[in-house]
Structure 1
Amino acid sequence: MTVTATPRPTGRPGYSQTLERVPESAGAARSLVRTALAAWQQDELTEDALCVITELVSNAVDHACCSVIRVVVTRPADDRVLLAVADRSRDLPRMRADCDGERIRGRGLVLVDALADRWGTEPRRWGKTVWAELRSGPAADG
């Protein structure tokens, strides 16, 4: 699959990649996030961002209905990094209230909620995008 960097009229480029909807795609998504964060000199976000993108991809792999997903990493402002996964399922994710220490699965959005500054879902005509925003410091170039 091809990685694209999209130039914008202002600000930094966004990075995106279309991936197969398989568990192994979480590794490719993490590589994309690492690349974007390194380009933006936002290494302090790496650990949290990798956890968040892994959970977003895992949810799409488990619940989407199409053979591919789209991973997007953007920097909407100097102090924010946005991670998103788009898929063709219209089923919206929901955070489970019954997550205890005994559950092995189903805690992904609880983790996203804990690590991200904010997160949400954007329903689309063709499916949805689930996103999480992490607050960062200004880059040395910005």
Structure 2
Amino acid sequence: MLMTTTGLMGMLHELELTPTAINVLSVMVKYAEPGGAVDMKQAEIDEVLGVGQASMSRAMALLVERGLVLRSGNGRGHRYALNPAIAGYSSEDEFKSEMSKQLAVGGPPPILVPEYQKRPPKPGSGSLHAVA
């Protein structure tokens, strides 16, 4: 059984992920090795989900942009891994060892939460109403 390092599910709504991206992340978490390596190509994840190549590519790009998924390699040779901060580990010792390695190089890559996009209302643009 893998131990996870964060309450990722509790922050999903803040990351503004699409339903497809959430599904892709779920598949990656399910098939990830301890430490976060995911030995699947996008096409293999798509086989599980059946969302199509374009949707799959957009979802993966969003996960990479948010920092939840790390991508290495180029072209068709991409390899994927979960961010070490959200990966599962076989034991507490494995988790501590990986976090020590990450801290030695400045910490795990950040998970990026989109900034507030809607402007707050202008002062005085609305009136207060008393509730009886």
Question: Where on the TM-score scale, by shorter chain, does this alignment land: which range?
Answer: 0.3 to 0.5
TM-score (norm 1): 0.31
Q: Which has the higher strand share?
A: 1
TM-score (norm 2): 0.33
- Decide which structure has the larger Cα Rg and report it: 2
Give the number of the structure with larger relative contact order, counting CA–CA contacts within 8 Å between residues 6 or more apart.
2
Q: Which has the higher helix share?
A: 2
